[in-house]
């Protein structure tokens, strides 16, 4: 096939490359239009040089030829608008959409070459080992990986900006800094808008900044790391949480670096802990193995089973939290109470408008006698912090007031309470609700949802939904934070983002 003369360029400058300048490094529409037009004019891939803001035309005025050719580009760009569509396999369109975001300056040339070849080599679409196709696939895969990492490793910090100061009810601005490898900022923005619909946020990157005002996405120029806010209190909580969930016996450095590559560490608050925790892991796990198994010590004297006649009197509900604590400490309406260290009742202001209900106290809660103080509590605290809700303003409790566990060696492993056990505890929870009178309750997990709504509510199918109880109180159903902690590290951040999105409904609800 001979080289076609392009009426605009090649007649005048047969040796010159035709520079095509796109509007930005991820200008798919511009690329599509230009490629169609070039193909219609039978411009060989080798005759075109592609440019965008990341690969500008070099030496534009260095030679009269280059200058003159550059001048023709504008004419071409106008002509591109009228190019006819080209029939290509749909997989190629999908491949282009992703591979074009790669940072390799040769990506446009490669994709145009494939387009050209698809039009002229019918066998190409059936050749999975073709070098050009393989290279484009690899680019697309690298872009997908970069997007995945951005979803997992973006860390927001709260800023009390002007909008927050004039309307604190709207919640603070959340700002994150991230350095993607490829040109993914605009492509990934809708993901963050969906995940954090109820929050105002901005993600700053060196190339683009993305902003969501709660209703609309907008894009601005790139930023510097120093434009993002410094670490805040929420970050300290994240570090404590990370320290808590770190299990030295399960440390697999290679695996961890695969999931959380070193290049992301400098923007991850928890990364400062990795080296010291990893260095001490061997010693800590050896100590764990050597320790003689011991059961937890009960702080209360042994309890004898109450005769049925001493079961709580339903007609005289408790009138204070102290009374509730005292009564639950002696409750033996189900077997769990006999093994726990103490009962754990709800905590928070009695006039709180918002009440969180979990499943049952965990190991730490059982020892400290306070709800949500262990790892799940720290994750809950982080979420509250990011939503601008103060933990001291909400009431936090559980459906079941004692810790149910199974002893494995020296470890007490959480066991889900049975429906009968939760039902036996129901009246204590009702007492708490009657004392606090919250307008809005949050059911963290299935046990809490059943206790608050009186029937089984599948959590995954109903997460983020608000139900109304018979007494008119509203109940938001979502996952229990422990469910997030149990997830593989890979998906944990994305799951946390979903959870935060469920909870962000709270900032918009009247709680009276």
- Summarize as ranges the residues that interact with ligand URA (CB under 6 A): 358-362, 365, 371-372, 374, 376-377, 398, 480, 482
* Alpha carbons 223 and 5: distance in angstroms, whole number: 44
- Using the minimum distance from each CB to ligand URA, give the nearer residue, 228 or 367: 367
If the CB atoms of residues 49 and 364 are measured against ligand URA, the closer one turns out to be 364
Sole residue written with tokens 């934070």: 481
**Nearest-angstrom CA–CA distance, 149 and 320:** 49
φ, ψ dihedrals at 224, nearest 5° = -110, 160
Q: Tell me how far, at minimum, the Cβ of 357 lies from ligand URA, in Å.
A: 8
Please tell me the distance from the alpha carbon of residue 175 to that of residue 229, in angstroms, as a whole number: 7
Biggest distance spanned by C-alpha atoms of the chain: 106
Nearer to ligand URA, 19 or 362 (CB): 362
Smallest gap, in angstroms, from Cβ of residue 375 to ligand URA?
Answer: 8
Instruction: Give the distance, in angstroms, between the CA of residue 351 and the centroid of all CA atoms in the same chain.
Output: 33
Q: Are strands 411-414 and 405-408 parallel, antiparallel or unpaired?
A: antiparallel
Closer to ligand URA by CB, 373 or 500: give it.
373
Question: What distances in angstroms separate CA 7 from CA 42, 75, 79, one per listed residue?
Answer: 11, 11, 12
Comparing CB distances to ligand URA, the nearer of 9 and 343 is 343
Select 308 or 460, whichever has its Cβ closest to ligand URA: 460
Residue 342 Cβ, how far from ligand URA at the closest point, in Å? 13
Closer by beta carbon to ligand URA, 177 or else 372: 372
Answer positive or negative: Cα dihedral of 289, 291, 292, 293. negative
Distance CA 420, CA 143 (A): 51
Q: In angstroms, what is the minimal distance from the CB of 414 to ligand URA?
A: 8
Residues pairing with 243 in the sheet? none
Residue 251: CA count within 13 A, CB half-sphere: 19
Give the ranges where 182-272 is alpha helix by DSSP (H).
185-195, 233-245, 253-259
| CA pair distance 464, 198, nearest whole angstrom | 12
- Give the helix ranges, DSSP H, for 104-246: 107-120, 131-153, 162-166, 185-195, 233-245
Of residues 19 and 377, the one with the C-beta less far from ligand URA: 377
Rounded least distance, CB 332 to ligand URA, Å: 21
Can you spell out the DSSP letters for 6-33? PTTTTTT-TT--EEEE-SSTT-HHHHHH
- C-alpha to C-alpha distances, 419 to 28, 339, 391, 407, 425, nearest whole angstrom: 55, 18, 29, 21, 10
Other Cβ atoms within 10 Å of 349 Cβ, number: 11
Min separation Cβ 361 and ligand URA, Å: 5
Q: How far is the CB of 312 from ligand URA (least distance, A)?
A: 22
Distance in angstroms (rounded) separating the CA atoms of residues 173 and 372: 26
Residue number with CB closer to ligand URA (43 or 485): 485
Q: Pick between residue 48 and residue 422 the one whose CB is nearest to ligand URA.
A: 422
Shortest Å, Cβ 411 to ligand URA: 16
To the nearest whole angstrom, how small is the minimum distance from the Cβ of residue 125 to ligand URA? 54
Rounded-to-10 torsion of CA 258, 264, 267, 272 = 40
Which residue's beta carbon is nearest to the bound ligand URA? 358
In the complex, minimum distance from the CB of residue 347 to ligand URA, in angstroms, rounded to a whole number: 9
- CA distances to 40, 235, 354 from 426, in Å: 74, 36, 19
Q: Least distance in Å: CB of 242 to ligand URA?
A: 17
Taking the complex as a whole, how short is the minimal distance between the CB of residue 321 and ligand URA, in angstroms?
15
Q: Which is nearer to ligand URA, 171 or 361 (CB)?
A: 361
- Nearer Cβ to ligand URA, position 270 or 365? 365
Residue 447 and residue 399 in contact, taking contact as beta carbons nearer than 8 Å: yes
């Amino acid at each position: 096939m001979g080289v076609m003369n392009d009426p605009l360029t090649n007649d005048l400058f047969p040796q010159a490359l035709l520079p095509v300048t796109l509007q930005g490094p991820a200008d798919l529409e511009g690329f599509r239009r230009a490629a169609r037009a070039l193909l219609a004019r039978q411009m060989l891939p080798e005759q075109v040089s592609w440019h965008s803001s990341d690969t500008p035309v070099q030496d534009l005025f260095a030679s009269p030829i280059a200058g003159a050719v550059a001048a023709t580009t504008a004419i071409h760009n106008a002509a591109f608008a009228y190019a006819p569509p080209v029939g290509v396999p749909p997989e190629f369109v999908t491949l282009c959409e992703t591979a074009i975001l790669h940072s390799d300056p040769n990506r446009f040339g490669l994709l145009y070459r494939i387009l050209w070849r698809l039009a002229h080599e019918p066998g190409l679409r059936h050749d999975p080992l073709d070098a050009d196709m393989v290279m484009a696939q690899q680019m697309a895969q690298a872009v997908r990986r970069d997007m995945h990492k951005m979803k997992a490793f973006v860390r927001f910090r709260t800023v009390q900006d002007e909008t927050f100061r004039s309307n604190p009810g709207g919640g603070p601005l959340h700002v994150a800094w991230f350095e993607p490898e490829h040109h993914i900022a605009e492509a990934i923005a809708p993901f963050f808008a969906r995940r954090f619909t109820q929050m105002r946020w901005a993600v700053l990157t060196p190339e683009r900044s993305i902003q969501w005002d709660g209703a609309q996405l907008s894009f601005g120029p790139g930023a510097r790391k120093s434009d993002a806010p410094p670490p805040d209190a929420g970050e300290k909580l994240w570090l404590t949480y990370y320290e808590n969930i770190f299990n030295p016996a399960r440390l697999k450095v290679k695996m961890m670096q695969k999931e959380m590559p070193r290049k992301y560490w400098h923007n991850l608050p928890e990364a400062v802990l990795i080296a010291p925790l990893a260095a001490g892991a061997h010693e800590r796990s050896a100590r764990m193995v050597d320790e003689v198994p011991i059961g937890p010590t009960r702080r209360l004297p042994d309890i004898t089973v109450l005769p049925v006649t001493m079961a709580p009197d339903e007609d005289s509900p408790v009138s204070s939290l102290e009374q509730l604590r005292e009564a639950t400490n002696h409750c033996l309406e189900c077997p769990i109470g006999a093994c726990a260290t103490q009962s754990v009742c709800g905590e928070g202001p009695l006039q709180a408008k918002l009440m969180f209900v979990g499943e049952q106290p965990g190991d730490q809660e059982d020892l400290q006698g306070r709800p949500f103080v262990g790892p799940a509590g720290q994750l809950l605290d982080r979420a509250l912090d990011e939503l601008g809700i103060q933990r001291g303003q909400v009431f936090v409790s559980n459906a079941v007031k004692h810790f149910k566990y199974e002893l494995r060696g020296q470890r007490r492993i959480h066991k889900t309470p049975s429906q009968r056990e939760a039902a036996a505890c129901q009246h204590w929870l009702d007492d708490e609700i009657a004392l606090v009178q919250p307008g809005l309750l949050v059911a963290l997990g299935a046990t809490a949802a059943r206790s608050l709504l009186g029937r089984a509510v599948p959590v995954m199918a109903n997460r983020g939904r608000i139900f109304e109880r018979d007494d008119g109180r509203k109940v938001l159903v979502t996952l229990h934070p422990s469910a997030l902690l149990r997830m593989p590290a890979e998906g944990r951040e994305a799951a946390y983002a979903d959870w935060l999105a469920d909870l962000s409904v709270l900032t918009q609800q009247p709680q009276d």
